[in-house]
Amino acid sequence: MSRKADIEALVARYLEIETPTEGLPLAVSPIGAEEIAAGIETLLSGWLTMGKQVSAFESAWAEAIGTRHAICVNSGSSALLVMLSALVETGVLQRGDEVIVPAVGWSTSLFTVAQAGLHPVLVDVGEDSLCLEGEWDRPVMAVHLLGCPSRATGPVIVEDACGAHGAKIGGDRVGSIGAAGAFSFFFSHHLSTIEGGMVNTDSDEIADAARSMRAHGWVRERNDREAIKAANPEIDPRFLFVSAGYNLRPTEITGAMGVAQVPRLDGYVTRRRANHAQWCDTIEELGLPIRVFPELTGTTHAAFAFPMLLDADAPIDRAELFHRLESKGISTRPISGSNLARQPAFERVPHARVEGPTPVADAVHERGFFVGQSHAFDERHLERLIEALRFAFR
């Protein structure tokens, strides 16, 4: 038996990750014996900082999404920051440009736009997708919310695909549609490297700028480094800095765990998507005062979590619904940051403003919620959810 197989067998003996036997958690960890063994192998190898494993994860992820490049970082929020900074660095976007951002999204979908020197303009989301929709005259931040693809277009499309691994518009995977896309590999996501993120792009220039932005602004991992070195012969190339970057690098453990997981993506999305369709159909048939969000025609929903919206005239409010569902073991959350313009942090986001009315984002803010979805869920989990919903509206 090889050392790796030996470690994997040992880990498998002690690992206790099972399909949950009661309630409905928000997520089930996709990290199994193979990833833990890969992490231990990496620790034993003595090379712990970003190296060959990260490169292998990047290659596998670029291929899985269908882009020429993928740049690994330490979180989805870091991926957003690196991606937007690289777009400014390469002149695809200019500092001070307005970027259309959906009012409903994750906090850092908004914050990173401002952190990159851009001016976020929050607008309402579509009532069937809860995502940014339509054609805009300014660059758009297409947040593929909870696995639902955002079909918004503009002069530049930037994608927040942090919760939409494997989602598609037509035949194109999200993250490959715009100038660049960002993914998260946090614990609860389709694939997980504990924490982790990735920037995908087809552009050599954006990819190189992202490589500098990720690691101190230096040239080391850039594909065009030889030309930069030649233009700066007086500076030692080991410490040659070309961008005002950050340090948002992943560790080798991220790479090793990612490599083990990428092959499972399609199977996971198939399961999640089938669950999503069945849950929508079943809940719609119950005639409860809640609406669900079926997959949009022409898209593939990656079903990160299962969003619902309580009717405005429902007999109970959202707080009471949360209380009743949680009492039955159903974990609940508001829909991400809900209307981000109504979060206290909004007034601290430089140059952010709201454009137009936001009735859908407001409804989400007041009455929206989600429950978990997972590759590990089956009929039993749907039954538990249905039973709890019936109890809540009894």
In the region spanning residues 324 to 383, those forming contacts with ligand PLP, defined by CB under 6 A, are none
Site string for ligand PLP, 235-274 (x = CB under 6 A): ----------------------------------------
- Whose Cβ is closer to ligand PLP: residue 132's or residue 156's? 132
Stretch that binds ligand PLP, among 69-77, 96-104, 114-122, 275-283 (CB under 6 A): 69-77
Stretch that binds ligand PLP, among 157-165, 246-254, 263-271, 320-328 (CB under 6 A): 157-165
The answer to whether residue 192 forms part of the interface with ligand PLP (CB under 6 A) is no
**Residue type present at position 351:** H
Q: What is the dihedral of CA 214, 218, 223, 225, to 10 degrees?
A: 170
Neighbours of 356 (CB within 10 A): 10
Q: Which position among 42, 184, 200, 275 is part of the footprint of ligand PLP (CB under 6 A)?
A: 184
Stretch that binds ligand PLP, among 70-78, 221-229, 318-326, 370-378 (CB under 6 A): 70-78
The answer to whether residue 143 forms part of the interface with ligand PLP (CB under 6 A) is yes
* SS3 state of residue 305: strand
Q: Tokens 């960002």: give the residue.
A: 182
Site string for ligand PLP, 33-52 (x = CB under 6 A): --------------------
Contact, 182 vs 214, CB < 8 A?
A: no
What is the enclosing helix (H) or strand (E) of 109?
helix 107-115
User: For the chain, what is the total number of helices (H) and then of strands (E)?
Assistant: 12, 15
In the region spanning residues 72 to 111, those forming contacts with ligand PLP, defined by CB under 6 A, are 75-77, 105-106, 108-109
Contact, 155 vs 98, CB < 8 A?
A: no
Residue nearest to ligand PLP (CB): 76
Q: Which residues contact 26 (CB under 8 A, 6 or more apart)?
A: 188, 305, 331, 333, 371, 372
Cα 378–Cα 384–Cα 388 angle in degrees, nearest 5: 150
Report the alpha-carbon distance of residue 99 to residue 113 in Å, rounded. Answer: 8
- Whose Cβ is closer to ligand PLP: residue 85's or residue 109's? 109
Catalog residues that contact ligand PLP under the rule CB under 6 A: 75-77, 105-106, 108-109, 143, 160, 162-163, 184, 186, 197
